[in-house]
Amino acid sequence: MKKIGVALLGLGTVGGGTYRILKNNHDSIMKNDGIDIEIRHIIERDKEKAVALGADLSIVSTDINDVVNDKDTHIVAEFFGGIEPAKSFLTKCLLAGKSIVTANKEMFSKSWVELEAAAKKGHAGLYFEASCVGGVPIIRTLTESMQGNVIQSLMGIVNGTTNFILSKMADEGKEYGDVLKEAQRLGYAEANPTADVDGFDSMYKLSILSSLAFRKKVPISQIHREGISGVDKADIEYGKQLGYTLKLLAIAKNRDGKIEARVHPAFVPSDHPIAGVKGSFNAVHIVGDNVGDIMLYGRGAGDLPTGSAIVSDIVFAACQSKPKYAPFKNVDNVSTKDFTDNYLCRYYLRMTVADQSGVMAKITSAFGKNNISIASMKQMPSAGENATLIFLLHQTYEKDLNRALEALKKLDCVNSVNAVIRVEE
């Protein structure tokens, strides 16, 4: 029987869930995996959290050196969030030869290179399954199950807060601001929701996932990011009429040897599996050259779902004869030649124009001069002197579209371009 000492850094939502799983599932893990896991240290300022969980207060402290200097602690699981003190604490543990497990996507995506260097120096392991998509085993799928494929694309709903908001807007016809307040009241959104609604959380996760998918470091500096705060319920409704559902997507593609990585609202066909992912659930759709389409779906956050991923990593780490590191050259100074920001996709446009003759001729001329082809156009019922036009465009390059938008804004018959939303088929 292999005995493994574990330290927990923090007893917040996920830390508390992990503690409960390690206690409740201790015997089944010992029986199924041959590992006797002992929680030897808990680093936590608020001892009331430990009391509420029934933890032994003699192992609770605020001194990371208690963990670093204990030769019988082998694995350290971190739940602090943020960059510091998490990064400093984990670096000390790695240099002391202790493997780490973390759900901290911001810290990990920004400090992966430094943490890996410390891990190699201390002959320790890095495990981060819980950093992306909560309890859904996406990391292990990419690293352990896709060796027979060259991954062509990855597309996912990786943030439950924004998916809850967009689902509510679509199902109940509510405005963004009203649904955000509801999400905050229910605990799905933070008092300061910026990390979620502005796409930062999804960007951190996409950096990790796309790096593993394409075996090449994809830093956050190479990821285009847009949030959902500018989404209008009118476009969600118009999209539904056209057969599309709006989601905040994290998208990465390997096109002609170059990687494109982006986070933004996008329409997907309403019969696509991603479109059916509702509420706070997450899903990731992967396309491999041999396996074809794969989709993983489940709870992307929460104490027990994320805690289950943490415990999985603890068990996985305990079973390794030697640590594994990133399957690519893990450096920060990547070549920009490996990436492209000239995306190729379809687009949805909504604009307000003067309701008069000759308008369509001017608009189509602006499109044509910029290599853009119109797939369909619909004029919505209007009153007064203005009209609302909805365009679906054939696949076009982002830079051509941007030139066309500049040309449209200069037309005296175009009052405003109200929405530009990418469409992923």
What is residue 172's predicted lDDT score, i.e. its pLDDT? Answer: 95
| 155-299: in CATH 3.30.300.280 | no
Please report the DSSP string for 328-366 in residue order: S---S---GGGB----EEEEEEEEEEESSTTHHHHHHHH
Cis peptide before 85 (omega within 30 of 0): yes
Give per-residue pLDDT as tens, 320-363: 999 989 988 899 888 889 999 999 999 999 999 998 889 999 99
Domain with CATH 3.30.360.10 in the chain: 155-299
205 is catalytic: yes
CB 399 within 8 A of CB 342: yes
What is residue 351's predicted lDDT score, i.e. its pLDDT? Answer: 96
Mean pLDDT of the chain: 95
Name the CATH superfamily, with its identifier, for domain 2-131.
Answer: NAD(P)-binding Rossmann-like Domain (3.40.50.720)
Give per-residue pLDDT as tens, 166-210: 999 999 999 999 999 999 998 888 899 999 999 999 999 999 999
Give per-residue pLDDT as tens, 5-56: 999 999 999 999 999 999 999 999 999 999 999 999 999 999 999 999 999 9
What is residue 380's predicted lDDT score, i.e. its pLDDT? Answer: 86
Which structure tokens are listed for 36?
A: 């006797």
Task: Report DSSP state, residue 54.
Answer: T
Extract long-range pairs of 328-336: CB within 8 Å, 24+ residues apart. Answer: 328/211, 328/215, 328/216, 328/217, 329/216, 329/217, 330/112, 330/113, 330/116, 330/217, 331/113, 331/217, 332/113, 332/217, 332/219, 334/216, 334/217, 334/218, 334/219, 334/222, 336/222
Name the CATH superfamily, with its identifier, for domain 344-423.
Answer: ACT domain (3.30.70.260)
Phi first, then psi: give them for residue 60, nearest 5 degrees: -95, 130
Rounded to whole angstroms, the Cα distance separating 249 from 236 reads 15
**Alpha-helical regions (H) of 199-358:** 200-214, 233-241, 303-318
Rounded to whole angstroms, the Cα distance separating 263 from 277 reads 17
Domain with CATH 3.40.50.720 in the chain: 2-131
Domain with CATH 3.30.70.260 in the chain: 344-423
Rounded to whole angstroms, the Cα distance separating 228 from 391 reads 21
Percent of the chain with pLDDT over 90: 89
Give per-residue pLDDT as tens, 52-87: 999 999 999 999 999 999 999 999 999 998 999 999
* Candidate list 205, 216, 217, 247, residue with the active-site label: 205
